[in-house]
Amino acid sequence: MFIKRVLLGSVASLVALSGAKAADAIVAAAPEPAEYVRVCDAFGTGYFYIPGTETCLKFSGEIRATVGFNKNSATDNYRWYDQVRTRLAIETKTDSEVGAIGTYVQLQSIYNSGSNSDGFKARQAYISVGGFEAGRILGFVDNNGNWSETNSFFNTINDTTFTGASYTYHATNAYAGLEVDDLTGTGGLMGTKTGSNQVGIEATAGFGGQGPYQAWVIGAYDSFYHEGNVYAHGQADLGPNHLQLDGQWSSGYNSYETLYKWQVGGSYNYDVTSKLTLGPGATWFKPFNDTNFWSIDAKAGYTLAKGLTAYGDVGYKTDDHSWYGYMRLLRKF
In this predicted structure, what is the pLDDT of residue 157? 61
Nearest CA to 234 among 249, 213, 220?
A: 213
**Stretch among 94-103, 194-203, 297-306 having the lowest mean pLDDT:** 194-203
Report the C-alpha gap between 1 and 97 in whole angstroms: 81
Q: What mean pLDDT is predicted for residues 88-108?
A: 95
In this predicted structure, what is the pLDDT of residue 40? 93
Give the CA radius of gyration of the chain.
Answer: 31
Classify 6 as helix, strand or coil.
helix
In this predicted structure, what is the pLDDT of residue 15? 43
The yes-or-no verdict on residue 195 having pLDDT over 80 is no
**Stretch among 94-108, 159-173, 277-291 having the lowest mean pLDDT:** 159-173
> In terms of pLDDT, which residue wins out, 282 or 144?
282
In this predicted structure, what is the pLDDT of residue 160? 65
Q: What mean pLDDT is predicted for residues 110-133?
A: 87
Q: What mean pLDDT is predicted for residues 105-126?
A: 86
pLDDT tens-digit readout, 13-41 = 544 444 444 445 566 665 666 667 789 99
Q: Kindly report the backbone phi and psi dihedral angles of residue 192, in degrees, each rounded to the nearest multiple of 5, phi listed first.
A: -70, -10
Nearest CA to 308 among 275, 279, 270?
A: 275
Q: What percent of the chain has pLDDT over 70?
A: 83
pLDDT tens-digit readout, 142-194 = 888 888 888 889 887 656 678 999 999 999 899 999 999 998 765 434 444 55
> Can you point out the beta strands (E) in the chain?
48-49, 56-71, 78-94, 101-112, 121-129, 132-138, 161-170, 174-182, 199-207, 213-222, 227-238, 241-250, 260-271, 276-287, 293-305, 308-317, 322-332
Domains and CATH numbers, the chain: 131-332 (2.40.160.10)
The yes-or-no verdict on residue 5 having pLDDT over 60 is no
Q: What percent of the chain has pLDDT over 90?
A: 62
In this predicted structure, what is the pLDDT of residue 4? 43
Report the C-alpha gap between 107 and 104 in whole angstroms: 10
| Amino acid identity, position 241 | N
In this predicted structure, what is the pLDDT of residue 16? 47
The yes-or-no verdict on residue 322 having pLDDT over 90 is yes
pLDDT tens-digit readout, 43-63 = 999 999 999 899 999 999 999
The overall average pLDDT reported for the chain is 86
pLDDT tens-digit readout, 197-219 = 689 999 999 999 888 999 999 99
Report the C-alpha gap between 72 and 78 in whole angstroms: 6
In this predicted structure, what is the pLDDT of residue 12? 47
49 DSSP assignment: E
